[in-house]
Structure 1
Amino acid sequence: MKRIFLLYIFLFINCTLFAQSKEDTWTAFWDKDTTHTGYKDKNGMIKIEPKFMGMTIANKFDDIIVVTEEENQSWKSYYLTKSGKIVGRDSLYIFDNGPDCENEGFIRFRDHKTDKMGMFNRDGKIVVPAEYSNLTKAINGMIIALKGAEKAMAPGTDGHFSWAGGDDNLIDINNKILIENFVSNDELNFYSVEKSKEPSKDPTRDSFLGVDGQYYSFINYDKEFTLWLKNSLLSDLSKDNLLKHSYEEIFYWKEPIGWINEPKTTFINKNYKLIKDKLLELNNPTCDYFVTTNGLNQFIYEADKYDQYFNNCNESKDWKYPIKSIIITHRDKKDSTQDHFDFLRTENGYQLISVSIRKGKLK
């Protein structure tokens, strides 16, 4: 049997430091006028008086954040570490009209003089120099880095663009190349990385040859979910098995109320036959369905129990906890409707968390 080595690129160091900072997470709070934000520690002691606004979107402060404050009737934006160090003045990385949020103690910045991206660590030190066209978040100590690309502006849009050309490499947080010409997709689970002398034979994994001659393999969420759906759910649609693979509460759409939720036992008991019949359609070769990948909607899943699935800026951590949505389309001569089943990837596997049925009626 070939020995497979688990690869933890700086994982032990990063996780230890990250866990230590998590013990004293600072929380954002408003001033009396709800116009400025400050931060308190876990004991309610004010660490930073309310003075930030604008691009200050971090609800929690662990390592390094983006802040904006007003000075002489103008705004200044920068990166702020927990020790009070200021770096990256006017070097914010903006995406979808919002600044970056740190992940695992690292945060991206853009040098607007060169229009290149780099990355700061939790101490405000540059660990990845600003020499890349684009960088992903640091995930388990790894970053997908695009270099030498050009912006291709989409015609008729307001500043939207895609990247043309360039080379994607997988690098670590010390800017060392792990895999050249990295052909990636959003379905890779970077926390599942394994390193071996030969490509993985696991059908749920994608393997890549590294610069060191070893193969790096990652679980592909799409392949994993497809196999799980077939072997763990559709093979046994009993009520007990459905409950086993359901989250503790199920959200569902009900007219005219909108999204509501119930404990899974209550919901499944009331709607078991309808849900079973809908899911059984997936076994029919003529069933018109597809699967998409999303993240939890922060405006629906607001309870504290869902905090682990969002980062400090209340963005879904879909790179670790994706939602797999099964969408079944029903067509007739007059209209077409779609039923939605959302499964959240949790530490306990995929679990049904929300349902929306248009052809049929939930109780």
Structure 2
Amino acid sequence: MQFAVQKNGDYLYGYKDKNGHVRVPAKFGNFTNAQKFTHIIAVSEAGTHQQYYLLRNGRKVGVDSVYMFDFTFDCEREGKIRFEDRKKNRIGFLNIQGRAIIPAMYNFVTPFQNGLAVARVGARAKCWSSENDTIRCEHLGWVGGRDVLINERNEILADSLAEGQWAHLNWYSLKINPAEVDTALTSSFRGKQGDRYTFINYEKEFTQWLYEVFVPAVRTGNDKQVAALCFPELAVAARPFKGWPHFQRAAFMTKYYQSVLRPKLGMLHRDSKNVAVLSEELNTYIFSGSLFQLFMTDCGAHFQDKYPVFDVMLTYAAPPGQKSDEYHNHFEFIRTPQGYRLLSVGL
């Protein structure tokens, strides 16, 4: 695990094993954001600012080929990590031995999820802050091109995915040519060879669960059933705002079930006009510690591809005399191995 020491006002990072012994001395700078050192990590040495990939045996690979997106290094996922050919401005993958198993040939590519990744090909670079300057650009993006689905052998399984076609997919639920397809819960697309790739759609799954499981439990007043559908620890923000205090599940139910959950969520219906379901990222500043490690990547970011978070936002007209015309209540849910659970409430 990563540890930090302070030197001359700056933090340097190194790694300890599970027994607390230092295995990699603290000599890396701020870009080194891997919280776990499984097989391969991207590092930036303090002082020299040299960037490279470090293996568990201490070997350096991919010097000056470290992939960075939005000023953040990549982290290992499924035994692979992204690297960049900066001359070609293309991205590929290294394996845990530091070998390029997928050449740098893509404009952009997602981390692998269940052996699959979405890659952008045929796009052109565009600087969003300066139309004509892509050399010194701080916010470089891509326009045009097409999205393709690749596997770990760099084979294109599906070509020209439509925009948004792969949003909210549970990559770990893949079924190829299923005999039956439940369109109320899944999304599908055709592969190059005619195969039908079908995935559970997280947004469809959550919406069904919300209206068929959670809301009926709240409406009927079954407090034990509702408690079981809450995360063991919940955060609540209320007026006047004093941060996000955390409550154990039993304390949350005592304080907020009858006063908030039942009147706010108990009467919801699919055709309710004041409700919107939004996809969100887990706030890792509010939700940290061992209880939430399962939901983090090796970089310490929200593992959104496996544990999505949805915000049920309720909108109300503001009382006369208020500065704004409307106000909102927020109820955030996270997908866990046991199913969706209420995680936070913002009033």
Q: Answer whether TM exceeds 0.5 for this pair.
A: yes
- Name the CA distance, whole Å, in 2 between partners of 1:328 and 1:31: 44
Q: Is 1:178 aligned to 2:157, yes or no? A: yes
- Superimposed CA distance per residue, residues 314-346 of structure 1 (whole angstroms, 9 cap, x where no aligned partner): 111011111110011111344321100000100
- Name the CA distance, whole Å, in 2 between partners of 1:337 and 1:156: 37
- Name the CA distance, whole Å, in 2 between partners of 1:192 and 1:65: 28
Q: Is the CA contact (8 Å cut-off) linking 2:120 and 2:146 kept in structure 1?
A: yes
What's the secondary structure of 1:234's corresponding residue? helix
Q: Is 1:188 aligned to 2:169, yes or no? A: yes
Matched to 1:352, the amino acid is L
For residue 39 of structure 1, the aligned residue among 3, 12, 15 is 15
Q: Is the CA contact (8 Å cut-off) linking 1:85 and 1:124 kept in structure 2?
A: no
Q: Is the CA contact (8 Å cut-off) linking 2:129 and 2:138 kept in structure 1?
A: no
Which moves more between the two structures, 336-345 or 272-281?
Answer: 272-281
- Name the CA distance, whole Å, in 2 between partners of 1:286 and 1:227: 14
Identity of aligned residues (%): 33
Task: Give the superposition deviation at 1:268.
Answer: 1.3
Partner of 1:147: 121
| Number of equivalences | 329
Matched to 1:130, the amino acid is A
Partner of 2:34: 58
| Distance change in 2, residues 1:77/1:306 (3 Å) | same
* Aligned Cα root-mean-square deviation (Å): 2.1
What's the secondary structure of 1:36's corresponding residue? strand
Task: Give the superposition deviation at 1:199.
Answer: 6.8
Task: Give the superposition deviation at 1:212.
Answer: 3.3
- Name the CA distance, whole Å, in 2 between partners of 1:230 and 1:46: 50
Gaps of 5+ in 1: 1-26, 358-363
| Distance change in 2, residues 1:286/1:173 (3 Å) | closer
Matched to 2:342, the amino acid is L
Which moves more between the two structures, 340-349 or 255-264?
Answer: 255-264
- Name the CA distance, whole Å, in 2 between partners of 1:197 and 1:211: 17
- Name the CA distance, whole Å, in 2 between partners of 1:147 and 1:217: 23
Task: Give the superposition deviation at 1:126.
Answer: 0.9
- Superimposed CA distance per residue, residues 107-165 of structure 1 (whole angstroms, 9 cap, x where no aligned partner): 11111100011111111111111111100011111110111111233357974354322
Partner of 1:252: 236
Partner of 1:163: 142
Matches within 5 A, 1:187-336: 187-196=168-177, 200-237=181-218, 238=221, 239-254=223-238, 255-273=240-258, 274-283=260-269, 285-332=271-318, 333=320, 334=322, 335=324, 336=326
What's the secondary structure of 2:251's corresponding residue? helix
- Name the CA distance, whole Å, in 2 between partners of 1:324 and 1:54: 31
For residue 63 of structure 2, the aligned residue among 68, 89, 97 is 89
Task: Give the superposition deviation at 1:37.
Answer: 2.0
Partner of 1:356: 346
- Superimposed CA distance per residue, residues 70-122 of structure 1 (whole angstroms, 9 cap, x where no aligned partner): 4xx53210011212232221112211211111112211111110001111111
- Name the CA distance, whole Å, in 2 between partners of 1:223 and 1:91: 39
Partner of 1:8: none
Matched to 1:308, the amino acid is L
Q: Is the CA contact (8 Å cut-off) linking 1:67 and 1:78 kept in structure 2?
A: yes
Please, what TM-score do these two structures have when normalized by structure 2? 0.88
Task: Give the superposition deviation at 1:197.
Answer: 5.6
Q: Is the CA contact (8 Å cut-off) linking 2:40 and 2:55 kept in structure 1?
A: yes
Task: Give the superposition deviation at 1:297.
Answer: 1.1
Which moves more between the two structures, 293-302 or 179-188?
Answer: 179-188
